[in-house]
Structure 1
């Protein structure tokens, strides 16, 4: 598992529960950032692209609970509801389609709370973007890289895909399972095999990885 905690432990537990072996090797560690919440009246909705925003946003998030949430996936939507937010829309194919759908709900001013390291999204609906957490790169030793040989790497993000591509010199000895086509493309070519999950969620990604392992 290459994703940061606590997602790493959750994915590992799901794999072990299925009777498979799991190697935990987080590539990043997430930490909160200091931030100042804007006036909620200046926005129509809150875009959340990761549950990490809810985990690390802190008490300042409570000032924005009046805004309906546009969640990029089911896990983020569940975290938003648990934090007391009302989820208006939940996407399953990325940010751009989610924002297009939001426009049909008379949403014109969207505030995005997310990570410092993020994929840029061009949309007239995005009126402000604030980083509330950072995903710091962790050092990976040569001995740790060697442990990946012959395994299937689960890639939950494009950033993780790019980081893995930097670390691995002999890609023919490693297979990858990606959460989406964009994540797979970010990893580049030359892998022993590459597969995309049928749906952009952890369970589907694990299922895809198991097919490669078999």
Structure 2
């Protein structure tokens, strides 16, 4: 419709494709522009007896964990967000707790009421967090690497658009690729820390009220549908 701005989805698939589908169902002019690609890493599951629970901060861990997850099936899963929990269930894992927010928020909750020895199935590139009394052992089971911008990227960001950033790495890469063109682009970030990673010089910045797709699309409505 007149005045609508494209909504540019940059996260890796399959999450990126899912975001595009949700956005298009909500009547956004969503463009599928993944700037990262996820892949499984080789890994060996440790003895589950050495841990009280599994920590999953991304659905990618369940999607790309592979056969090794079977050896850990007896451990309860503490998951960040509904999407991560859903992917864990599909992989045959037992979800005990779904925490809102980010990994640090879930770890804080675990320190107060949960298990003490955590096996964190994570990506090769990850943030760090912790809490007193918890022993967190990270184990990389997947990697999300930068990929060349898809065909049409340069033409798309040459005009005003709303660009989504689902992670700090994603925000940094979008900023690098946009360069001076960010002055006519609006950055829509999943959290305040992600927005900060994108730096300055944008036409506008917006942050979702909660760190999930639904909140990002709610925020995108006012940004994209300006002419309605």
**Cα RMSD for the two superposed structures:** 1.6
Instruction: Return the structure number with greater relative CO, CA threshold 8 A, min gap 6.
Output: 2
Cα distance in 2 between the residues matched to 1:152 and 1:84: 37
What is the match of residue 182 of structure 1?
193
What is the match of residue 94 of structure 2?
86
- Whichever structure has more strand as a proportion of its residues is 2
Indicate the SS of the match to 1:169.
helix
What is the match of residue 191 of structure 1?
202
What is the match of residue 5 of structure 2?
none
Cα distance in 1 between the residues matched to 2:103 and 2:13: 23
Cα displacement (A) at 1:83: 2.2
Alignment of 1:116-135 (within 5 A): 116-124=124-132, 125-135=134-144
What is the match of residue 3 of structure 2?
none
The runs of 4+ residues in structure 1 deviating greater than 4 Å are none
Q: Retained in 2: the 8 A contact 1:116–1:135?
A: yes
Task: Tell me if 1:168 matches 2:186.
Answer: no
Q: Retained in 2: the 8 A contact 1:47–1:112?
A: yes
Q: Retained in 2: the 8 A contact 1:177–1:194?
A: yes
What is the match of residue 157 of structure 1?
167
Cα displacement (A) at 1:106: 4.2
What is the match of residue 31 of structure 2?
23
What is the match of residue 68 of structure 1?
76
Cα displacement (A) at 1:97: 2.0
Task: Tell me if 1:115 matches 2:123.
Answer: yes
Measured against aligned partners, the alpha-carbon deviations of 1:41-74 in whole angstroms (never above 9, x if no partner) come to 1011101011111111001101111111111111
Unaligned runs of 5+ in 2: 1-8
Cα distance in 1 between the residues matched to 2:153 and 2:112: 48
What is the match of residue 200 of structure 1?
211
